[in-house]
């Protein structure tokens, strides 16, 4: 074998050192199917009629892909690599709450102005309210494109009533 390489190098130069084969078998899952897998992973199982799961686990997603005929077989590790290559990662959802006060911006600017330039002869005291305390949707985790966590509204319907919490701390 070594003599064959030397003779080939003498005849063709460095081109003889390039392999004559492409190496490895062709991909069993095409790029189009990989993109489809990433799209399915960013949905909720309930959208596909799957009950009992609020998010996809690798096992549940693999079973779903096989049952839908997207792939004939796929391991959890291969699925994880496809999701990672597609920019889909396991992320915590975030919440936000927008103010309904029409004067919110003006009030916010006044508070920030007080923080930046407090009165020389006074103090800035901040108060906040807490309550009602109630059952509410909690943040969870799910598969999402990297850098774009799912967002949940912080406002929701209170069908089961509310509870107010009163506490005091004497320092």
CB 115 within 8 A of CB 170: no
pLDDT of residue 137: 61
* 97-153: pLDDT as tens digits: 778 889 989 988 998 898 888 888 887 776 666 655 555 566 677 777 887 777 766
Nearest to 134, CA basis, from 158, 102, 113: 158
Asked whether residue 168 carries a pLDDT value surpassing 60, the answer given is no
pLDDT score of 86 more than 70: yes
The whole-angstrom separation of Cα 55 and Cα 42 is 9
pLDDT, tens digit, for every residue of 3-24? 988 898 899 888 888 777 667 7
- Asked if residue 66 has pLDDT above 90, the reply is yes
- Are 92 and 141 a contacting pair, CB within 8 Å? yes
Look up residue 115 and give its DSSP letter.
H
Sign of the dihedral defined by the CA atoms of residues 139, 145, 148, 153, in that order: negative
Which helix (H) or strand (E) segment holds residue 153: the answer is strand 151-153
Q: CA 128: distance to chain centroid?
A: 32
Q: Are 129 and 114 in contact (CB under 8 A)?
A: no
Q: Domain limits of the chain?
A: 2-86
Of residues 92 and 55, the one with the higher pLDDT is 55
Q: What is the mean pLDDT of the chain?
A: 81
- pLDDT interval class at 69 (50, 70, 90): very high
- The string of pLDDT tens digits covering residues 30-45 is 999 999 999 999 998 9
**pLDDT tier, 160 (very low <50, low <70, confident <90, very high otherwise):** low
HSE-CB for 170 with a 13 A CA cutoff: 0
Q: Give CB contacts under 8 A, 24+ apart, made by 23-26.
A: none
Q: What gap in Å lies between CA 134 and CA 29, rounded to an integer?
A: 47
């Amino acid at each position: 074998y070594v003599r064959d390489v030397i003779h080939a190098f003498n005849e063709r130069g460095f081109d003889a050192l390039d392999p004559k084969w492409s190496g490895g078998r062709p991909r069993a899952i095409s790029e189009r199917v990989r993109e489809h897998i990433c799209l399915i992973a960013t949905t909720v199982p309930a959208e596909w009629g799957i009950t009992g799961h609020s998010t996809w686990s690798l096992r549940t997603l693999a079973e779903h892909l096989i049952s839908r005929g997207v792939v004939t077989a796929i391991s959890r590790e291969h699925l994880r690599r496809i999701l990672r290559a597609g920019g889909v990662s396991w992320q915590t959802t975030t919440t936000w709450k927008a103010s309904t006060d029409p004067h919110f911006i003006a009030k916010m600017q006044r508070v920030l102005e007080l923080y930046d330039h407090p009165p020389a002869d006074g103090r800035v005291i901040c108060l906040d309210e807490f309550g009602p305390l109630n059952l509410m949707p909690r943040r969870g985790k799910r598969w999402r494109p990297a850098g774009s966590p799912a967002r949940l509204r912080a406002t929701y319907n209170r069908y089961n009533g509310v509870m107010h919490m009163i506490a005091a701390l004497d320092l």
